[in-house]
Chains A and B, each alone.
Chain A
C-alpha cells in the first residue's frame, strides 16, 4: 500500500513537471478566492473591510510560504528555483571577483592538467583508430612465449603462423595482418629519390577492416598470392592529394619503389591513415611483395621471423572467450607440428586499440603516474577552494541565519551552497579544456623528431565527459564541507551576535585542511625536485662521445637491390664527397649509433684459453669503419684505430672498450691479446682500447663492448664538423643525391637532435613533474596566504587587545608567523614521510640520484619554509599595523 502510494505520488509529480505554470496560476486563484470568501464572511459578521481582510489573512496563514511549499511539493526540484540558485550563486561569486578568480584559476590548473593527460590516454588507449568499421568486433592476435614474463614475452606473428590462423580460425570472419614496423622506402620520382613510408598488408586487410577506397579498388586475397606476387599499391588519401595533386587519372599508372615498378590500383578513403596509431604510411602493398620491397629474404617462409601484427574480426555470435579458446587450440596444433620453432608458443587476444596490446601496460603505467601526480595538484587546488569557500561561508553566517529565519530549510541552504561550488568548478572545467588542448600540443613537441610518430589529440566526447565528471566530483568535494559547516547556524544567536560564533571550530578545520595541503605539496615538491635534478644529471652524463659537433644520416643502398660491390663503391664515393665539404674534418660509418633502439650482441671469451670457458661474456657489438673514434670523439686509451688497409683485406682485428678489457684481462695490457667470438671459429686480435661510453641508456652501469668492421649495406654516416653541425645537414643530403640520384638519406640530423631520444624519459618526467611541483608550490602559497590573511582579519580585535595590553609589534609578528610555521611544520613532517615512500616508485626514472636524497630533503624543507614566510609576510605586516583604538572600536 505504502509503496504504491509512493509510486502514485511520484507519477503525480512527474505529470506536474509539465504543467507548472498553469498549476501555479490556478493555485494562486484558489488562494485568492479563499481569502476573498473569508473576508466577505467577516464583513457579514460586522467587521470593517480592512479588519476583515486582516483577520482573513491571519486565519489563513503565510500565503507566500504556502505558495512556495506548494510549488516544491507539487513536483521535483523545479527548474525555476534551480535557475534562481544559479543566478544568486553567480551574483555571490561576482561579489568577490578576486577570490572567485583565484579559485577558478587553481581548479582550472588542476582539472586542466588531468584533462591533458587524459587526452593522451584517450588517443592512445581508448579511441579506436579512424576509418575502421565496428572496431569493437576486432581483436589483436599476439604470440606469447609461455616461459617469459613482462611485455617482452609477446611477439608479432610469423607469416606461416598468420596464414595458418587465417585459414583455420572459424571464430573470426577474417584475420588481417600488416607489417608492424614499416620502413622508409625510396620512391624514384623521375630519377630523383624521395623517402616514403610504406606498409605491407594482407590481401584481405581492407575488407576485414571495413575500409573503403575513394578511387579504384581495394586489395583482394587474390592480389596477395605468395606464389604469384603482384606489384600493386593503394595510396593513402593525403599522399595522393598532397604529393600527387589529387590526380584523378592516377589509376593504372606505375610508381617506382625501391627499384621496382608498382601499379596503382586505388586510393584509400579519406580519413583512413593506417592500421596503427601514430604511423601514417603513404602507401600499402600486398604482403606477398615483402621480399621484393624490403629485400629481406625469408620473411614469408621463416617461422622465427615475427613481423606481422594481426587483427581478427569476430564472426557473428562469437566472443573473445570462444575465439581465445579456438586460437589456443590452433596454437597447440602448430606447436605439435613445428616443435622446433613453435615450442611453448601460445596466442593471446587483446581488444583492438591504437596502441598494440602488449605495450598498453607501459602507457597505462606512465599516464597513470602522471594522473596521480596531477591528481595531487587537483587535491591542493580543491583544498584551496574549500578553505576559501569556508572563509566566505563564515562571512555569510548572518546571511544564512536570515534566510533560515525566513523559512529556508537547511537542505535548501546546502543546495544553494552546492550550486555555487558546482558553478565554480564548471567554469573551471571550461577553462581547463582550453588549457588541456594547449598543453597537450606542447607535450607532443617533446617526442623526438626521429620517431615517425603523429598522434591526433581530439577533444572528443570522452575527454569532455571525463573533464566534467572530474569537475562534478571536485565541485561536490570542495563544496560539501563548507556547505555543511556554513549552514549549521542558529539564527537567533547569529543575528544577535555575529562576531565570534563558532569561529574556533571552523578555524580548527581550516588548520587541518592547510596541513593536508602542505603535506601534499611536500610530496609533489619532493618528487619534482628529484626529477628536475635527475634531468640536470642526465644532461651532464657523458655518453662517451661528442654530442656537439657531429651530424648523422642513415643510408640503405641495399633497399635498392644493389650488389655488395655497388654498395661499397657508393659509400667510398660518398666519403670522398663528404670529406671535401667545407667545415667537415672527418667522417665514418657505423651500423647503428650507441643509445639508439637497435642493438647487436655476441658472447666472447679470452682467446688464449678458448674452449675452457664455454659460456662467454655477453658484449655489445658496434660495427664501424676506420675513423669512427676520431669522428665521434671517442677517446682512445691505448693502441690504435683501424687502418684503411685492414678494412680492405678484412683483417681480424678489433677494438675493445675499457670495461671489456677490465673483465677479460684485469691488470694487463689488452693490446695484442686474442679474443674468440661465440659461434665463430676465428679469433680476433685487440689493436686498441677506447673509453667506456653509454650504449643502451644514459643511466646504465659500464657495459663491455667491442668494435669491429664488416658493415652491412644499411649504415649511419657520422660526420665531424668544425662549426655547429646544423649547417652541413642540407649539404649531406645533396651530396648523397649527387653520388647516386636514386639514393636518399633518412634521419639526417645533428647529434643533439639524436640525443633527444635517449633523453626523452628524463626530459618528459623532469618537465612534467617539475611543472607539477611548481604548481603545487604556487597553489599552496596562495592557500596559506588566504587562510592566514583571513585569520588576521578575524583576530584584529584580539590583536588590538594584545597591543593595548602592551604587546609589541614583534610579539604580534611572532603570533602570526607561529601560526603559519606551525601548519607548515606538521605538513612537512607528514609530507616528507609520504614523499620518501612514493619517491621509490620513481627510482627507475632517476639518473644519478637516490630517491631518498638528503640534499633534496633539505631543499624541500627550506623551500616550504620560505614559501610559508612569504605567505605570512603581507598579513603579518597588516597585523603589525593594527591600531588598537580602531580595532577595539571596530565592532
Chain B
C-alpha cells in the first residue's frame, strides 16, 4: 500500500463485479479483474483472489450464473454472466450506494467554522 492506493471497501466488490458483468456481458474471472483494474486506473489495490470469493457468493445468491466456454487464447474457462435476479439486485444496490455516497459526500463537504 503506501503508494496512494486504497483497499477495496467491504461489500463494494460484489457491486463492482455485478456492474462489470452487466456492462461487459459474460466474462471469466481474469477478465473481470482486468476490467476493474482498468477502470480503477491503478487507484484500487485489488487482491485478485478475492474476486473469486465474490463470484462464489454472488453465484450462491443466484445473482450470476456460470458456464464453461472457450477463452480468447483458446482455453477452457468459466464464464460468468448476470441473471435477472442479479440485474434487479444491481439496481437496488446501485441506488443504495448512490444514496450512501451522496450522504457521505455531503457530510464531508460541509465547511469548517
Which chain A residues have a beta carbon within 8 Å of chain B's beta carbons? 5, 8-9, 12-13, 26-27, 29-31, 33-34, 37-38, 59-63, 66, 69-70, 73-74
Contacts and interface: CB of A to CB of B under 8 A. Distances in A.
B56 A59 contact: no
Contact of A37 (B30, B62, B76): B30
A33 B75 contact: yes
A27 B57 CA distance: 14
Interface string B66-100: 00000101011110000000000000000000000
Nearest to A74: B56
A34 B30 contact: yes
Nearest to A16: B60
A69 B62 CA distance: 19
Interface of B: 28-30, 33, 46-50, 52-53, 56-57, 59-62, 71, 73, 75-78
A61 B75 contact: no
The secondary-structure label for the interface of chain A is helix
Contact of B47 (A9, A30, A31, A60): A60
B60 A12 contact: yes
Contacts of B75: 33
Given A30-B29, A33-B30, A34-B29, A70 B52 contact: yes
B14 to A, nearest CB: 12
Given A12-B60, A73-B57, 20 more contacts: A5-B61, A9-B60, A12-B59, A12-B61, A12-B62, A13-B60, A29-B76, A31-B52, A34-B29, A34-B30, A34-B33, A34-B52, A38-B30, A38-B48, A59-B46, A60-B49, A61-B50, A66-B52, A73-B53, A73-B60
10 contacts: A12-B59, A29-B76, A30-B29, A59-B46, A59-B48, A61-B49, A63-B49, A70-B53, A73-B56, A73-B57
Contacts of A9: 60-61
A63 B53 CA distance: 11
Given A8-B62, A33-B77, A66 B49 contact: yes
B2 to A, nearest CB: 15
Given A9-B61, A38-B30, A61-B47, A30 B56 contact: no
A56 to B, nearest CB: 9
A74 B60 CA distance: 8
Interface centre among A31, A61, A73 (most CB of B within 10 A): A61
A838 to B, nearest CB: 55
Contacts of B60: 8-9, 12-13, 73-74
A4 to B, nearest CB: 9
A29 B75 CA distance: 11
The 3 A-B residue pairs with the shortest CB-CB distance in the complex, in nearest-first order: A61-B49, A12-B60, A61-B47
Nearest to B60: A12
Contact of A31 (B49, B50, B71): B49
Nearest to A9: B60
Contacts of A13: 60
A344 B46 CA distance: 88
Contacts of B50: 61, 66
A62 B77 CA distance: 21
A9 B61 CA distance: 5
Contacts of A27: 52
A30 B59 CA distance: 15
B49 A62 contact: yes
Contacts of A60: 47-49
B71 to A, nearest CB: 8
A69 B57 CA distance: 11
B78 A30 contact: yes
B84 to A, nearest CB: 13
A449 to B, nearest CB: 69
Contacts of A30: 28-29, 52, 77-78
A34 B53 CA distance: 14
